Amino acid sequence: MSAPLKLGIAGLGTVGAGVVALLRQNGDLLGARAGREIAIKAVSACDRNKDRGLDLDAFRWYEDPLALADDPEIDAVVELIGGSEGIALDLTRKALAAGKPVITANKALLAHHGAELAALAEANDATIGYEAAVAGGIPIVKALREGLAGNRIARVYGILNGTCNYILTTMRETGRGFEDVLAEAQELGYAEADPTFDIDGVDAAHKLTLLASLAFGCLPDFDAVHIEGIRHISALDIALASEMGYRIKLLGVARKTDYGLEQRVHPAMVRTGTPISQIEGVFNAVVADGDQVDTTLHSGRGAGAGPTASAVVADIADLARGAAPPVFTLPVERLTRIRPAHMGRHRGAYYIRLMVVDQPGVLADVSALMRDHNVSIEALIQKARNPGEAVPIVFTTHDTTEADMTDVLARIDRLDVVLEPPRMIRIEAL
Amino acid sequence: MSAPLKLGIAGLGTVGAGVVALLRQNGDLLGARAGREIAIKAVSACDRNKDRGLDLDAFRWYEDPLALADDPEIDAVVELIGGSEGIALDLTRKALAAGKPVITANKALLAHHGAELAALAEANDATIGYEAAVAGGIPIVKALREGLAGNRIARVYGILNGTCNYILTTMRETGRGFEDVLAEAQELGYAEADPTFDIDGVDAAHKLTLLASLAFGCLPDFDAVHIEGIRHISALDIALASEMGYRIKLLGVARKTDYGLEQRVHPAMVRTGTPISQIEGVFNAVVADGDQVDTTLHSGRGAGAGPTASAVVADIADLARGAAPPVFTLPVERLTRIRPAHMGRHRGAYYIRLMVVDQPGVLADVSALMRDHNVSIEALIQKARNPGEAVPIVFTTHDTTEADMTDVLARIDRLDVVLEPPRMIRIEAL
């Protein structure tokens, strides 16, 4: 066996403590599989005296995480501080500049600075491992970079945020509303006190940026991602979706089209009975459509100490084996910059819900507007309840462009009989 | 870039021709991802003049595949001949002995000779890539060996045979019988003219042997696999399963227990709505339960030129990158020999269907026998049709040992009112 791989770990929160615990528990096995002992040499975190249920005495302690990059005894730095800027960025830059590989769970960091950091890694003969940054314990970075290396990927998509999937699943199972279920998720620890990054789709967009780069060999381009969250999803829409044979999931989708690269995060209807529709609760899943392999699905837990640590140590094992693949599948100079597709050019089917006054002629007005804008109705649910009162009209469309759809909805919204802004949810063809 | 990786390919059937076509189509991309050009130098197959829709003129042609192992210009041999003995075995031995890595889709070969061949590979500083041998295009060998390297696996199971899954799916969707659907599958090319290896579970058992070895770090032990196929699954059982909230799948399951390693291939009931229950038609799926990552599921096409070639070239790319992991995750000397578990000690729930004479007291007799043998009924369906005629009694049990279950069923079978041998299908807890 070769010399041990010596690690410095920065950040001892849930994931950092999980990595220390995993290496203590399964370190022998991991070392045997990697062909080399794996040893933590030093750690750094905010508070040395916090009780993490771990004995840290065997490790050198640094108050300043940046010192890990200077320690000549450390072969690689494990960055588990988080955040796209500040200390996580500084540490990653410094470690790479010193030729030390970095392993991280930090999706925000790489979504924003991936191109710069990949170039820095290459220039210093180092690598960045980020299996834990995308879909937690699911080994999807490895699958895209290595397992499906022979494929041209047409589309990669997935359920990338467990908090949102838990909320949407619970809403469907209980019929309860968004705010109510969010509050419960916060109590249970499935949602953060400030849940913005999760429920507004930003976290999923960070992950999608990395998936797109891996799948298409392009530079990560977070700013090009169209992002919608799940705040506006109502119990009514979820119930109506079920009735029409769909479930609502927050999807991240990256797709190559004739008009550029679509990168979008938004609630989407997926047909009930498809494998992805059955991914429930805090589970994540990623689907890759390759030209050779066709469709593959990879699912598992997207967060938590164990699953995330599992992904971190997979990268550590790769490092120990001497694997040093390019960060985004190709050398940085070969990564392309794919023109972002404008959402107006997106083509697909839609679910639309209107709240209208229950009176004769409403459906005729609405359907005339749709016909005049080339939007063709596929299915319709109209439930009369109280003449003169508000009732929902719900329909799904055949494929149409988002520009046409948006235009029609603006006109429908201006009809007097339409009482609320129309609700639109995209249907993802699987 | 380093020198090209030079390949010799033995066998140009569906998969071999698929590999040649893939390398022609996506070879540039694969080379870029692997950091090294990948070049086919020589091929060997039965009939040089057969029209495969491929131009083979650029490759050296060998009548004798064994000659590939002697060709000093060839860095690695791709064995796509098939069969556990004969030429495939001879070629693999010869190539490894010459220090040439072997990449193969041959599950039978490795299930029967894996230990010997892994040792031979190690002794000659070569490797064996067999991503294509298990679950076609799904990168599950890589996931178990590398992506989940930090986990102790408690159980690995899956739908490992697309022919069986196609037949069972079609039977459920159409209500048709086994023989009828098998004949159709043969016409459509989803089942072979001699379907024995598929429908009797042998093919799935080959794959399970390799999965178990990867998951548990043990020597492949095909002879220890308990194997049942799907010939006896009736349309009635599938319909009754649906009614009780289950689908019937041919599963391969490997599980560590207190009484040894269970390796079993048999039809199993899985709860409808679980992700694995939604894996339909020719698709395969593998689930791994790890102590850190919890449950992960990996699905995709289990056969066909494209998916299988996708897996073969993933191994080729790994080789080009210089990856040389131990064949079964650990060096051969560290692989354990885990005592096989006797099926009689298997503990789980069961589905039982009896055909009985519709007369008073039958249920009382049956349930008394079950009570006396500690088998506890969970749910029961009894549909009276014609007094004095045959009717089914169907029940599911709480967890019990297979020994107790077998014993009770033998006694039930001896009752005069029981008209056919009882049907038993295991329920897999997911």
- Among A291, A293, A325, beta carbon nearest to B301: A293
Residues in B closer than 8 angstroms to A299, CB to CB, are: 275, 296-298
CATH 3.30.70.260 fits A345-427, yes or no: yes
Q: What is the pLDDT of residue A152?
A: 97
Residue among B146, B275, B297 minimizing CB distance to A314: B146
pTM of the entire predicted model: 0.96
Query: Are B149 and A278 within 8 A, CB to CB?
Result: no
CA–CA gap between residue B352 and residue A198 (Å, rounded): 46
With beta carbons less than 8 A apart as the criterion, state whether B286 and B140 touch: yes
How many CA atoms within 13 Å lie on the side-chain side of B81?
A: 25
Specify the CATH superfamily of domain B344-427.
ACT domain (3.30.70.260)
Q: Does B301 touch chain A (CB under 8 A)?
A: yes
Q: What is the dihedral of CA B215, B216, B218, B223, to 10 degrees?
A: -70
In sign, the C-alpha dihedral spanning B266, B271, B275, B281 is: positive
Tokens linked to B175: 């209500």
Phi, psi of B145, deg, nearest 5? -75, -35
- Closest to B373 in 3D by CA, of B414, B417, B408: B408
pLDDT at B125 over 90: yes
* Residue linked to tokens 């390796």: B263
Residue B427: the pLDDT is 98
Looking at domain A140-301, does it have CATH number 3.30.1330.10?
A: no
- Could you tell me the residue ranges of all domains in chain A? 5-133, 140-301, 345-427
pLDDT-flagged residues of chain A (< 70): 1, 384
* Backbone φ and ψ of A372, nearest 5°: -65, -15
A-chain CB neighbours of B29 within 8 Å are: 150, 152, 217
| β B102-104/B76-79 pair status | parallel
**Spatial separation of the C-alpha atoms in residues B318 and B311, rounded to whole Å:** 11
- Give me the helices (H) in B286-359, please: 305-321
Cβ contact, residue pair A314, B147, below 8 Å: yes
- With a pLDDT cut of 90, the percent of chain B lying above it is 90
Q: A308: which chain B residues are within 8 Å (Cβ-Cβ)? A: none
CB contact under 8 A, B296 and A138: yes
Using a 10 angstrom Cβ sphere, with 0-12 exposed, 13-18 middle and 19 or more buried, the burial of residue B361 is exposed
Residue A308 CB contacts under 8 Å (≥ 6 apart), including other chains: A14, A15, A18, A105, A132, A136, A137
Q: How far does the CA of residue A290 sit from the closest CA of chain B (Å)?
A: 9
Does B344-427 match B5-133 at the fold level? no
The pLDDT value given to residue A414: 95
For strands B102-104 and B128-129, give the pairing: parallel
Chain A residues 306-335 within an 8 A CB cutoff of chain B: 306-307, 309-311, 313-314, 316-318, 321-323, 325-326, 329-331, 334
Distances (CA, A) of A133 to A46, A124, A223, B350: 22, 22, 18, 41
Distances in Å between the Cα of B308 and the Cα atoms of A102, A140, A170 are 34, 19, 39
B99 in contact with A at a CB cutoff of 8 Å?
A: no
Q: What's the rounded mean pLDDT across residues B349-363? A: 92
Choose among A252, A247, A329: nearest CA to A284.
A252
Contact A106, A83 (CB under 8 A): yes
Angle between helices A402-413 and A362-372 (to 10 degrees): 150
Residues 6 or more apart from A161 whose CB is under 8 A from it?
Answer: A198, A201, A203, A204, A207, A250, A284, A302
**pLDDT of the residue at B1:** 53
Write down the ipTM of this complex.
0.95
Minimum distance, in Å, between the CA of residue A345 and any CA atom of chain B: 28
Helix (H, G, I), strand (E, B), or coil: what is residue B9? strand
pLDDT digit string, tens, across residues B187-238? 998 899 999 999 999 999 999 999 999 999 999 999 999 999 999 999 999 9
Distance CA A197, CA A199 (A): 6
| Beta pairing class for B38-44 and B5-10 | parallel
Note the pLDDT of residue A1. 53
Yes or no: say if A426 and A269 are a contact pair by the CB < 8 Å rule: yes
Q: Minimal Cα distance from A136: which residue of B?
A: B293
For residue B386, the model assigns a pLDDT of 74
Chain A, residues 203-242, CB within 8 A of chain B, namely: 217
- Residues from chain A contacting residue B292 (CB–CB below 8 Å): 22, 26, 137, 306-307, 309-310
pLDDT tens-place string over residues B31-85: 999 999 999 999 999 988 888 888 899 999 999 999 999 999 999 999 999 999 9
The answer to whether the Cβ–Cβ distance between B142 and A137 falls below 8 Å is: no
Task: Tell me the mean pLDDT in the region B131-149.
Answer: 97
**Chain A, nearest residue to B334 by Cα:** A32
Give contacts of B 251-290 with A, CB under 8 A. 273-275, 277-279, 290
Give the DSSP H or E segment for B92: helix B86-97
Query: How many A×B Cβ pairs under 8 Å?
Result: 190
Check residue A47 and give its pLDDT. 87
Q: What is the CATH number of domain B5-133?
A: 3.40.50.720
Please list every residue in chain B whose beta carbon sits closer than 8 Å to the beta carbon of residue A147.
Answer: 131, 139, 142-143, 311, 314
B-chain CB neighbours of A146 within 8 Å are: 139, 142, 314, 317-318
Q: How far is CA A257 from CA A220, A329, B202, B208, in A?
A: 17, 21, 43, 39
Cα A157-A161-A165 angle, rounded to 5 deg: 95
